[in-house]
Structure 1
Amino acid sequence: MAVSVRPPRPPRRRLDGILLLDKPLGLSSNDALQRAKRLYRAEKAGHTGALDPLATGMLPICFGEATKLSGVLLDSDKEYRAVVKVGERSSTGDAEGEIVERSDATQLTLPVLQDALAGFLGPQLQVPPMYSALKRDGRPLYELARAGETVEREARPVTIAELELLDFAGDRFEIRVRCSKGTYIRTLAEDICRAVGQCGHLIGLRRTAVTPFWGRAGVTLDRLEASADDLPALDLWLLGPEEALRHWPSATLDDVRAQAFLQGRAQRLAGVPRESRIAVSNERGVLLGIAQSDAEGWLRPQRCFAPPRQAS
């Protein structure tokens, strides 16, 4: 009897870079990450802020040493386009839940909506939704919500830097939002509807940008999978790790100072911005890591990157 033999898995490789993935509808962020990791045959990978399965758009994926920058991208501002259904509130705040409340959407007018949107600009406190991955006593809130439990959630500071009305069609509207980390667009949608005397829920969400990658388009999994057997073609979509820090102040070190930096030694440099986080590179433009400068110009390594692996 013939025995089928599974072909060996392609070897993993050291890969340092950032992929701006355009996550498709219906796929979890972790599933998208794992598919990209397999395509690139990467030893190490991580994403930088989950999108719900019902959301699409930019999901930066970090490979190799770039995973040390995941926290930087997680903390960065994001931009979204959101479509909100007026007159129906759902149990989850989005299209996945059951409708639990209704209101008369025909009473909403454009001037009232525009006035309400202006009130959501700037720093504010936002109560996270029950259907979120935040934890209470070690359990995600969404697990408690599915069990029918509701618990008090502490309001958290967020900032809405930009809020633009793109379309208004009576029982729905579309907005563009630029916001700080930790902002729940589902909650923002509900709060806006509440401010105009309505109930509502999110029916569409697309992340269009992540700082500092403004104006860049993501690549789809379908397009990547079309080049699945062509690693050089796949690698053309990768950005260098330094691209994640291009909006930061920077310092360039000669080889002697670069070696000292990678050994974790503090150094005093002239011309370095004081009391700032600094992107540190060598004279060849290779990112060495992240440092913190103090009031006297001392540069103290916070995160160092392993040097690129030399080809054998």
Structure 2
Amino acid sequence: MTELQPVTSTDAAAAPAAARASRPARVKIVRRPVHGVLLLDKPPGLSSNDALQKAKWLLRAEKAGHTGTLDPLATGLLPLCFGAATKFAQVSLDSDKAYRATLRFGQTTRTGDAEGDVLQERPVAFNRDALEAACARWTGAIKQLPPMYSALKHNGKALYEYARDGVEIERAERDVTIHTIAIVDWHHENPETATIDVRCSKGTYIRTLAESIGETLGCGAHLTGLRRTASGPLTLDRAITLEALEAMPEAERESCLAAPDTLLAEWPAVRLDANEAARFLTGLRRRTSEPDCAHLRVYGPEPHALLGSAHITAGELIADRLLSPTEVQGLLNELNLPRTL
């Protein structure tokens, strides 16, 4: 039998010290100011925040935020805002959304999607006319009850956390608008599955919409696939995957960012001279002959640096969100342009 030797206090201290010495030194990420919008094609199985943190790390960005969550099951367009663009993230959050959804008829599940246990199975017996009528029934201004398996908060805790513990929370219905539902793929020979394109207002739960269509058809339904294809004027065809971003040389990654005013592309523009621009950045109201307008993007003189957003009421230009002079200069630097303010 091998005799065990006592470990002295010196040995105990030396052991972790030696282990620390053998570890490779951790490389500290040096963050930097980055300004713009990354149109990310989010993969399945990844939360929106996880996708944001990965992109933020790849760009070494100081400040970042996303414009509304996508469920881990869902894929598709997730606009990520960096630096100055974070001030306009709410614009994208409030905009209409577009989705491509795959529905499985004849089954309802605990979660409303393919990840939940099947609660009920019913026969599927409807034709295309009935499917079109069911989609039309849920088009327009409707009310939805937020599902328990959602990120909606109650007392600071997500509803899905309560649901996992078997707790049902009372929820209020919310008003949403389904602008269009288009049937992309459905065949009478395989009636259990359909693919639809949905254009809707913010806050719409596509899982709940799938369930509603299924109940109208009398057979139930759940969501088996969801892909966001647009958010306001932003579309999926310009998006990039995390894998593609990571494969790029680091020096090229920033070229994938769209300008911060991409989020404001549907708003009219106002351009100010150097003196007016400087005053606008202090938050002072400016007289204008322009008509009243609820939303405007405001630029300085050539080369038209974005200054912020504003509205016009009773002949006054009133700032809503302002960029700091540092952020304005940062945008000019990214364009390799000289200072104009």
TM-score (norm 1): 0.94
Q: Which residue of 2 aligns with 1:87?
A: 106
Query: How many angstroms does 1:145 deviate by?
Result: 1.1
1:13 lines up with 2:32 in the alignment: yes
Q: Provide the C-alpha distance between the structure 2 equivalents of 1:58 and 1:268, rounded to a whole number of angstroms.
A: 39
Q: Provide the C-alpha distance between the structure 1 equivalents of 2:72 and 2:66, rounded to a whole number of angstroms.
A: 14
> 1:1-312 alignment to 2 at 5 Å?
3-105=22-124, 107-168=125-186, 169-214=190-235, 216-227=237-248, 229-231=249-251, 233-271=252-290, 273-283=291-301, 284-294=303-313, 296-306=314-324, 307-309=328-330
Conserved in 1, the CA contact under 8 Å of 2:148 and 2:168? yes
- Where structure 1 has 5 or more consecutive residues not aligned to the other structure, the ranges are none
Query: How many angstroms does 1:198 deviate by?
Result: 1.5
Identity of aligned residues (%): 46
Letter in 1 for 2:134: A
SS of the residue 1:204 aligns to: strand
Q: 1:67 to 1:254 in 2, by over 3 A?
A: same
Query: How many angstroms does 1:136 deviate by?
Result: 2.2
Please say which of residues 85-94 and 280-289 is displaced more in the overlay.
280-289
Select the structure of larger CA radius of gyration. Answer: 2
Q: Provide the C-alpha distance between the structure 2 equivalents of 1:214 and 1:287, rounded to a whole number of angstroms.
A: 22
What count of residue pairs does the alignment treat as equivalent?
307
Query: How many angstroms does 1:63 deviate by?
Result: 0.3
Query: How many angstroms does 1:127 deviate by?
Result: 1.1
Letter in 1 for 2:319: P
Structure with bigger helix share is: 2
In the TM superposition, what whole-angstrom CA distance separates every residue of 1:150-181 from its partner, at most 9, and x where no partner exists?
23211111111111001113101110001110
SS of the residue 2:218 aligns to: coil
Q: Provide the C-alpha distance between the structure 2 equivalents of 1:308 and 1:118, rounded to a whole number of angstroms.
A: 50
- Where structure 2 has 5 or more consecutive residues not aligned to the other structure, the ranges are 1-17, 334-341
In the TM superposition, what whole-angstrom CA distance separates every residue of 1:94-138 from its partner, at most 9, and x where no partner exists?
111111111112x12211111111122211111111111112233
Conserved in 2, the CA contact under 8 Å of 1:73 and 1:211? yes
Letter in 2 for 1:196: L
Query: How many angstroms does 1:290 deviate by?
Result: 1.0
Query: How many angstroms does 1:278 deviate by?
Result: 1.2
Q: Provide the C-alpha distance between the structure 2 equivalents of 1:292 and 1:45, rounded to a whole number of angstroms.
A: 26
SS of the residue 1:39 aligns to: helix
Q: 1:51 to 1:215 in 2, by over 3 A?
A: closer
Conserved in 1, the CA contact under 8 Å of 2:39 and 2:236? no
Q: Provide the C-alpha distance between the structure 2 equivalents of 1:127 and 1:6, rounded to a whole number of angstroms.
A: 52
In the TM superposition, what whole-angstrom CA distance separates every residue of 1:179-201 from its partner, at most 9, and x where no partner exists?
11000000000001011111110
Q: Provide the C-alpha distance between the structure 2 equivalents of 1:61 and 1:167, rounded to a whole number of angstroms.
A: 31
SS of the residue 1:70 aligns to: helix
Conserved in 1, the CA contact under 8 Å of 2:105 and 2:193? yes
What is the root-mean-square deviation of aligned Cα atoms in Å?
A: 1.6
Q: Provide the C-alpha distance between the structure 1 equivalents of 2:315 and 2:86, rounded to a whole number of angstroms.
A: 28
Letter in 2 for 1:116: A
SS of the residue 2:22 aligns to: coil
Conserved in 2, the CA contact under 8 Å of 1:209 and 1:216? no
Q: Provide the C-alpha distance between the structure 2 equivalents of 1:286 and 1:96, rounded to a whole number of angstroms.
A: 47
